[in-house]
Amino acid sequence: MEKSKNTSKNRLSAYLNKCASLALKAAIWAGVCFVLSIALLYFCQLLFGFYLKTPMGPDFSAANPELMDSIMQLSDMGFENLSIPLVLTVFFTCQGILVTAKIFYVARYITPLGIFGRLITCVLPIAAVVALLIPEFVQVDGWITAYVLSIFPTFVLFNICFEIADELFPEMDDMMAFFQKSEDSGKKINGR
């Protein structure tokens, strides 16, 4: 009896250590994603500014007033203020989708694909879901703008979210086995 309590404590301790380790890793990746998103947005703004100074730039600007308005709106918002809700939305959405995939056995089919296979088959669809949620937190003009904004952070955060879901959450049959085991042990105690 005492041995099983020690084993349970060791398993719980190992699980909590794994949780803490993955939470720290996720925080670091979210911070890196935040900084890289800001840098990428400023770099894109710089390149776009150079393009507008070319002979074709004014023609492009006149032909696409809606796109120019969207770009100005995002620039006025400030890329730091844009990146915080963007990274948080990507992280929690990606984590929710991947935990659901783990619970309902889909992660079994994603895992063998490897890192690059997972990125190719999962990042773009998850970025589309994130793009649907971004207008709730960031004022953007359309879904396409939100989708373009969500691709890079989803790409950066996908693997840590997948690792968290794969390491910390059980599949449906594991949860059912746990609850059946608990119910069976209660019946045995009451039957004595």
pLDDT at 41: 93
> How high does pLDDT run on average in the chain?
86
Give, for 92, the enclosing helix (H) or strand (E): helix 79-103
Q: Tens of pLDDT along 75-108?
A: 888 899 999 999 999 999 999 999 999 999 888 8
Task: Please tell me the number of Cα atoms within 13 Å of 116 on its side-chain side.
Answer: 0
Q: How confident is the model at residue 131 (pLDDT cuts 50, 70, 90)?
A: very high
Cα separation, 55 vs 52, in Å, equals 8
- 29: number of Cβ within 10 Å: 19
- 116: number of Cβ within 10 Å: 8
- Is pLDDT of 67 > 80? yes
**Furthest-apart CA pair in the chain: how many Å?**
89
Q: Are 94 and 126 in contact (CB under 8 A)?
A: yes
Between 182 and 121, name the one with better pLDDT: 121
Alpha-carbon distances of 190 from 71, 182, 186, rounded to whole Å: 68, 13, 6
Does residue 105 sit in helix, strand or coil? Answer: coil
Cα separation, 132 vs 129, in Å, equals 5
pLDDT at 182: 56
pLDDT at 120: 84
- Is pLDDT of 192 > 70? no
